[in-house]
Structure 1
Amino acid sequence: MPPQGDRRHSPRVELYQRIVAAIDDGTFPPGAKLPSEPALAAQLGISRPALREVLILLQEDGVITRRQGSGSTVNQPPPPPGLERLLPVEALLGAGDVRCRRLAVEWEEPTDFSGYHLRLAPSARTCFWETVVEADGVPACFAHEWSADEATLRAVDPSLVTVLDVPSTASAPPTTMLAAFLASAAHLAMTARSTLGATTLGKERGEAISRPPEAPALLITQTVSALGQPLLAAKYLFPAGSPLLYLTPRR
């Protein structure tokens, strides 16, 4: 179960967010070089070792490119709201051996996050899935996904309820909830709103993949809707070092 409410961010995560925000607002536009490490550390009011840690993470996440002797260059701004095409995590992680491992499935009362994004009443019930998505045998993403309440799902398409209760088998291995929704109701014109940020793994997720709880992670939050109704709310956490995401531009 993911913790409810907001978790205080570490200084490293906050620094990551400050630099990404500066890229997003045009302070450091695509193709521009970041100031030298001494100059940038002084500008941000932090130590050079702390800055160097975050620059390494930004490079791992594909935000910047660092080259010895030539500094750091901005690759591209963070994705705009809404990933360019609505694709499940399994497709975003590329063409390698991508598999899902389910950690939790249960119907529960809304959390602050799911209640807000899915417009759920406090008495409603939402189906929660926690899934680890592995790329070539290495944990690449924690998927925390919540469905709309059963009445909303049935009103949009009854098959959306059906897939929530289907157990995983050898012939039907586990997937993310979004992948299941897209496969069961392919005729629906589903759209999404997404945001990009940073967080840390936390104790439970860190233990699941033998990483420290303070390990940084890229965070994508997403709300998927159809026919004017939110159907799914999700948090996708990609630990530092995960494969780059493959996004297909809108046509």
Structure 2
Amino acid sequence: MKITRKLFVVFGALLLAVFAEAQEKTALEIIRTLDQHARSDSSELSFTMEIFVSEGSAPRVFTIASFENRDGHSLIEFTEPRTVQGMRILTRENSSWVFFPSTGRVRKIASGSRSGSVQGVGGDFSYGDLANDPWETSYAWSKLREDDVSWVLEGVKNDPDAAYDRVQLMVNKTLERTVLARFALESKGGYYKELELKNYRDFSGRLRAEQMIMTNLQKGSYTTVTLNTASFDRNLSDSLFDPSRFGR
């Protein structure tokens, strides 16, 4: 009887080990899941952005409309305040353009400038942050560590147009969503920005973070972005994402 019990315990432990190994996900599998959750046939979102130059300072407030099509092309338009009303940022395949309504001019953003803040707006979100590029194609990923709650991954730049040299992501295992991201540039001495994603909830049938807080760890400034409304699988015109029609 004792031998039988011992065999049962050993056999059970082996099964658990095999099951645990089968359940373990690679960094690439996790990244592909994140990209898949971020995709939709199309989306139309509205945000409020608040920029704080320091803790306790009065914010500068902006409202933003965002559109994305099935190909991952995105258009962001600032709708308030009047000083930036009509300013738009178009992104296609890691290329970005900005339309300035005050001058009627369109400027293409050089790849080396994609980590910089938006001209005329400022804040801690860069052109690259707003573009929502796929993680898989921009960085080569490895798993740094994991526990019962989350995975921590690091991505090293492998696309010359990627905004950062390195990125770290903390991914909640239950949500399969990023809850913390860190961004590094060698020119900044390493990791210098941190993004916290909070209050995941249902927006039109999809799980999205209601609030994002980007903090510049060197300057002490921070920018909050709050998702107000979201709708998905909309019939958006291709002309919205056409660079030749962008400034019209």
TM range (shorter): under 0.3
Name the structure with the higher helix share: 1
State which structure, 1 or 2, has the greater radius of gyration over its C-alpha atoms.
2
TM-score with structure 1 setting the length: 0.24
Name the structure with the higher strand share: 2
